Structure 1
């Protein structure tokens, strides 16, 4: 009997501790999303479908419907969001960084830029951008890179790698490392120099945001880790905020749809796929 009482007491203390941690932690989704303290001014909080603060060195993931608008926010100027998006219906279709640069004839990400798959479809569109400091060249950090620079890359350690966190996020959707293409990065800019080298530009400062519009149902994977070219010796990264709400996918009445012949074909490919699949 004494052992049973002790066991019940241990369970009670564990329950109290877990609930206290949940109540005090800011590194988790807000449920309901309307309870988040950082809803965009132009959005009714009741319309939010996702609201979360991602810890420095943390990750998040979610499936979103076609037409969802996802806002990434850098509150301190030190967030660095490594992002992978995949077709939630057929996850083997995923972002292709080369086509994302080639089809718009633009290597630098910004408002109006489509994020393309290797199948010639637009997975998402950047519909707003107050940062202008992004990267589609370097991908995210690897385990080997972080071990060499920081001495550790374990997801639960002090300096997790971007790829390690994206592997964890992908596993939540039945995906493996083989399903992960090179990521794109938001809030820490990189530019190509005349000699072909890549120069880190850092962030645009606190408060910048970038909005993505899901053109298909998506699996969204995000790792918030220092950029690979960040010259600082320490593992420096700030919190990342994510909010999402329902809108509509890009249509023929949007300027980006007709921005170039190549983009129009990509959007038409996307619309045809979605309509045939009943999405």
Structure 2
């Protein structure tokens, strides 16, 4: 075999330079062939395979656009204040404080400190998102698909998020319930959650980081997906430098609750010398 020796393995590895797979990061991100119109300097450009995951630490003000390329992606997202793992996405407060269970442009992703982690600035996926059900587990995937381990053909979202967390100094105990993009859930009058599915290929959502963040994403089927086969298609992730939301932005004053969350965030950052 060509790789049976160290020299052969090195030659084989070096021969892969410049080759690309359908799902992989582009490094440097500025080599991405079609950057978003009007975007600043690209800092993250990646296609995440179905059943895959990704992670990145991003600066305050970074805009992150997630795109469902083929109509069957489901981006399970977690956010942590970078360097402060105890401040993290709180889906209960995100829903409760804003008096709304449905994610779409204009909504905020909140921590349990009453501060904004990220804002949703654009949504072309018709609000087909979910802030209530979380992601799949190894047990649930084993029951449904026969396995939920990371290296199986049907990895569970929580198992992938554990890996992403570990690569950022986080532990399983640091993983709260996630939000999901591109597979919508509707709550019926009797309280039953019903999957409304995807808005179709090409839908996107753009998030703006309102603090320095650690971003964890698993691209796996929604736990309410009724299909017997594990169905998950590629997710595109693009991020670029921009500016955090400031007073005077319509998003800042869109609701009294949102304004208070932005004020809480601004006061906290000001005490750290961040304006």
TM-score, normalising length: structure 1: 0.93
Does the alignment pair 1:193 with 2:172?
A: no
Change in 2 beyond 3 A, CA 1:8/1:177: closer
Task: Name the CA distance, whole Å, in 1 between partners of 2:133 and 2:56.
Answer: 24
Does the alignment pair 1:129 with 2:123?
A: yes
How far off is 1:218 after superposition? 0.2
Deviations 1:115-147 (A, max 9, x none): 000000000000000001000010000110000
Change in 2 beyond 3 A, CA 1:278/1:15: farther
- Say which of 6, 14, 39 aligns to 2:35: 39
Task: Name the CA distance, whole Å, in 1 between partners of 2:115 and 2:124.
Answer: 25
Deviations 1:58-101 (A, max 9, x none): 00000000000000011101110000000003111000001101
Partner of 1:182: 177
Task: Name the CA distance, whole Å, in 2 between partners of 1:9 and 1:155.
Answer: 27
Paired residues of 2:3 and 2:12 also in contact (CA < 8 A): no
Does the alignment pair 1:59 with 2:53?
A: yes
- Say which of 16, 20, 36 aligns to 1:24: 20
Partner of 2:225: 230
List aligned pairs for 1:91-130, cutoff 5 A.
91-130=85-124
Task: Name the CA distance, whole Å, in 2 between partners of 1:124 and 1:96.
Answer: 12
Change in 2 beyond 3 A, CA 1:109/1:20: farther
Identify which range, 6-15 or 81-90, moves more after superposition.
6-15
Change in 2 beyond 3 A, CA 1:112/1:8: closer
Partner of 2:44: 50
The alignment's C-alpha RMSD in Å is 1.7
How far off is 1:30 after superposition? 0.4
* Structure 1 runs not aligned, ≥5 long: 1-5
Task: Name the CA distance, whole Å, in 1 between partners of 2:266 and 2:158.
Answer: 31
Paired residues of 2:128 and 2:185 also in contact (CA < 8 A): yes
Deviations 1:151-206 (A, max 9, x none): 01111110000000000000001111100000000000000011110110110001
Aligned length: 272
Task: Name the CA distance, whole Å, in 2 between partners of 1:199 and 1:19.
Answer: 49
Kindly indicate which of the two structures has a greater share of residues assigned to helix: 1
Tell me the secondary structure at the aligned position of residue 61 of structure 1: strand
Task: Name the CA distance, whole Å, in 2 between partners of 1:236 and 1:118.
Answer: 33
Tell me the secondary structure at the aligned position of residue 168 of structure 1: helix
Task: Name the CA distance, whole Å, in 2 between partners of 1:98 and 1:65.
Answer: 25
How far off is 1:7 after superposition? 11
TM-score, normalising length: structure 2: 0.95
Partner of 2:78: 84
